Amino acid sequence: MQLYNKLSAKERAQLIDKAGKNRLTLSFYQYAKIGNPQLFRDHLFITWDALDVLGRIYVAHEGINAQLSLPADRFNEFKTHLDSITFLKDIRLNIAREQDDKSFLKLKIKVRHKILADGLNDKTFDVTNKGVHVDAKRFNDLIENENTVLVDMRNHYESEIGHFKNAVTPDVDTFRESLDIIEEDLKDHKEDKNLVMYCTGGIRCEKASAYFKHKGFKNVYQLEGGIIEYARQVNEIGLENKYLGQNFVFDDRRAERISNDIIANCHQCGKPFDIHTNCANEACHLLFIQCDQCKEVMENCCSANCMEINRLPYEEQKALRKGQGNSNDIFKKGRADYLPYKKDLRNIFEVLKQKAN
């Protein structure tokens, strides 16, 4: 029985076009004890493949983290299957604000050590002792409180194109890095400040809130469902939208627009722009912000060197890449010395000083 994807992205895209069906992009996560992650993974693959589900799903002993798409007319079947699994019954599904039939082109369900690469030793603290979950209305009230420090738990390339007003946006490459920075910068305010956190869909805050409570923070809050759920509630209830710009997402859409504000800049010319692209040179593939004009001039490349390589015949490019591996820039996502307009983000200490003044 087939338990892995056999089609290329190109072949899958052609099948989606041929089917002519609208697809629904959504995400969810759940921390739960899974005794046999591999068996659970195989069960999901068999069932979801039959429903034409595509996406990136991680399964571990600690739970599941899923980002996927499926034909809209099969949503009820999919939901029925989720409800048949005890720890996924009535799970909150974060429905994408902006839909794209080709947000995912493969079904990848992987067994991992953790469903979130947080770098933490969960045995050293109580991961179930989490912060207070708040909805969009309570969140809006909290972040207007002068005693609140609002922290973005995402990485620099995510918060650069969109974040909440007055949020602290740590200039980090990984979630784990931000934890130590936040603790250090707020070490004198563990009892007198409200620590309010948010992320894309909520999963990073689940672990971070428990971690910070373990570290002695008394007033810890997290945005329920993250930015995705916040945007939905703002629209449905008619709340004031306090989010600026786009919400970075980890599929082929790359982002969802939450407001019309453009708070980022093209990394090459500095023009206001907030759409990421990948360098066309496959040996680089750097994720960076490039406006339409620079995209045309630079041929969708991040540097003159990459542009020269990308002009070579494909076989010559392959020969150059042989044995070299990919550039480290792939993992730096926007960090390269030759990108003159990469935005420097503020740290928590600077924000606290601004509040004090």
**What is the SS3 string spanning the chain?**
CCCCCCCCHHHHHHHHHHHCCCEEEEEEEEECCCCCHHHHHHHHHHHHHHCCCEEEEEEECCEEEEEEEEEHHHHHHHHHHHHCCHHHCCCCCEECCCCCCCCCCCEEEEECCCCCCCCCCHHHCCCCCCCEEECHHHHHHHHCCCCEEEEECCCHHHHCCEEECCCECCCCCCHHHHHHHHHHHCHHHCCCCEEEEECCCCHHHHHHHHHHHHCCCCCEEEECCHHHHHHHHHHHHCCCCCEEEEEECCCCCCEEECCCCCCCECCCCCCECCCEEECCCCCCCCEEECCHHHHHHCCCCCCHHHHHHHCCCHHHHHHHHCCCCCCCHHHHCCCCCCCCCCCCCCCHHHHHHHHHC
| Residue finishing a domain among 111, 144, 161 | 111
Q: Is 262 domain-assigned?
A: no
| Residue 242: pLDDT over 50 | yes
pLDDT category at 332 given cuts 50, 70, 90 is low
pTM of the model: 0.85
* pLDDT of res. 351: 47
CATH number of domain containing 145: 3.40.250.10
Average pLDDT over residues 224-252: 95
Q: 168 and 101: one domain?
A: no
**pLDDT at residue 1 in the model:** 60
**Structure confidence by residue, pLDDT tens digits, 111-140:** 999 998 888 888 888 888 999 999 999 999
Task: Examine the pLDDT at 348 and tell me if it is beyond 50.
Answer: no
Residue 92 lies in a domain: yes
Instruction: Indicate if 225 and 294 belong to the same structural domain.
Output: no
Q: Do 233 and 148 have their domain in common?
A: yes
Residues of the domain holding 32? 9-111
For 70-100, the pLDDT digits (tens) are 999 999 999 999 999 999 999 999 999 888 9
Query: Among 87, 111, 135, where does a domain finish?
Result: 111
Residues 153 and 215 in one domain: yes
Residue 343: its pLDDT value, please?
Answer: 55
Active site residue 199: yes
The overall average pLDDT reported for the chain is 90
Least confident piece of the model among 126-140, 162-176, 293-307, 336-350: 336-350
- Asked if 158 and 95 sit in the same domain, the reply is no
User: Is the pLDDT at 345 greater than 60, yes or no?
Assistant: no
Task: Spot the catalytic one: 199, 284, 291, 301.
Answer: 199
Q: Is residue 256 situated within a structural domain?
A: no
Q: Are residues 42 and 80 in the same domain?
A: yes
pLDDT band at 104 (very low <50, low <70, confident <90, very high): very high
Boundary-marking domain end, from 56, 83, 111: 111
Q: Look at the chain and report how many structural domains it folds into.
A: 3
Task: Supply the pLDDT for residue 230.
Answer: 97
